[in-house]
């Protein structure tokens, strides 16, 4: 966990970088925490960076109401208001890329741009049933019921055998509040419904990225997200899987920085 942990309304966060620089907000994925972005932070030295833990994750308290994309979007809006941030570039990974889309729909005046990383969209009937079954397993059997299978989906075999990422992911999963995790897993499974069919409703400049072999947030899904958003474009990172962000941080930080500086 991060050592400096100011808290607002139960949300633990870090705010770093030049005070007068444009703000970039980083939203992590399910079962993780804000430290998932640790290896890309040095590349963002020219920005003011706000990273925080979603409700029930990391050092943040459980959600005040039943979890939903709107609850998570309002968590960020409240935090930005508390910190006096008028608008920001919003970067979201996985469920974070669902939250930042909901945020852009609900609070468009707070958004300078969106970066949507390895985030799901319409899965189709069969894949949707699989994800809902995982969410039910988490509810019935606990946060680690799907963990080993998840690691195989998230990391390449070589990195899974030798990299430090899997051990970190396990540590982060261990501190997630069980009920908060079960609720968030259900949001990840079902929140895509409220994000599809929103053609043209999000108008902020948008970068959509995923990895070639991400089975849960596929290249086709990323292209479909891009098609729904004005001023959006897609980048597909070769070879990697869902947590390519940890496996090859430079493959993400370089194109994100190019996009942000162009926005």
Q: How many domains does the chain have?
A: 1
Whether 84 and 122 have beta carbons less than 8 Å apart is answered as no
Q: What are the pLDDT digits (tens) for 7-46?
A: 999 999 999 999 999 999 999 999 999 999 999 999 999 9
d(CA 82, CA 105): 20
- Give the per-residue pLDDT at 52: 98
Is 0.75 topped by the overall pTM?
A: yes
Which residues in the chain show pLDDT less than 50? 1-3
Q: Is residue 178 part of a domain?
A: yes
Residue 2 covered by a domain = no
Residue 12: inside a domain, yes or no?
A: yes
Task: Give domain status of residue 1, yes or no.
Answer: no
CATH of the domain at 226: 3.40.50.1820
pLDDT at 146: 84
Q: What are phi and psi of 146, to 5 degrees?
A: -115, 15
Burial of 262 (0-12, 13-18, 19+ CB in 10 A): exposed
Backbone angles phi, psi at 145, to 5 degrees: -65, -25
Burial class (CB in 10 A: 0-12, 13-18, 19+), 78: middle
Residue 35 forms part of a structural domain: yes
106 within 8 A of 51, measured Cβ to Cβ: no
Is 228 within the bounds of a domain? yes
**29 in a domain, yes or no?**
yes
Domain that holds residue 184: 7-262
**pLDDT (0 to 100) of residue 23:** 98
Burial level of 86, CB count in 10 A (0-12/13-18/19+)? exposed
């Amino acid at each position: 966990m991060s050592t400096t942990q100011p808290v607002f309304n139960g949300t633990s966060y870090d705010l770093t970088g030049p005070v007068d620089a444009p703000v970039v907000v980083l939203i992590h994925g399910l079962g993780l925490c804000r430290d998932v972005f640790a290896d890309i932070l040095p590349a963002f030295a020219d920005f003011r960076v706000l990273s925080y833990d979603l409700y029930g994750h990391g050092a943040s308290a459980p959600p005040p109401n039943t979890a939903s994309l709107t609850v998570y979007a309002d968590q960020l809006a409240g935090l930005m208001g508390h910190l006096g941030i008028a608008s920001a570039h919003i970067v979201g990974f996985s469920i974070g890329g669902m939250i930042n889309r909901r945020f852009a729909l609900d609070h468009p005046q707070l958004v300078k741009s969106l970066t949507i990383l390895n985030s799901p969209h319409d899965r189709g009937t069969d894949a949707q049933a699989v994800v809902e079954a995982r969410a039910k397993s988490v509810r019935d059997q606990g946060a680690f019921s799907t963990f080993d299978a998840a690691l195989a989906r998230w990391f390449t075999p070589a990195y899974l055998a030798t990299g430090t990422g899997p051990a970190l992911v396990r540590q982060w999963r261990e501190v997630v509040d069980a009920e908060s995790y079960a609720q968030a897993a259900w949001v990840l499974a079902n929140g895509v419904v409220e994000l599809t069919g929103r053609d043209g409703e999000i108008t902020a400049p948008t970068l959509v990225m995923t990895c070639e072999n991400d089975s849960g947030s596929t290249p086709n899904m990323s292209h479909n997200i891009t098609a729904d958003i004005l001023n959006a474009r897609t980048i597909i990172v070769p070879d990697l899987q869902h947590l390519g962000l940890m496996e090859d941080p430079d493959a993400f930080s370089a194109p994100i920085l190019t996009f942000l500086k162009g926005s």
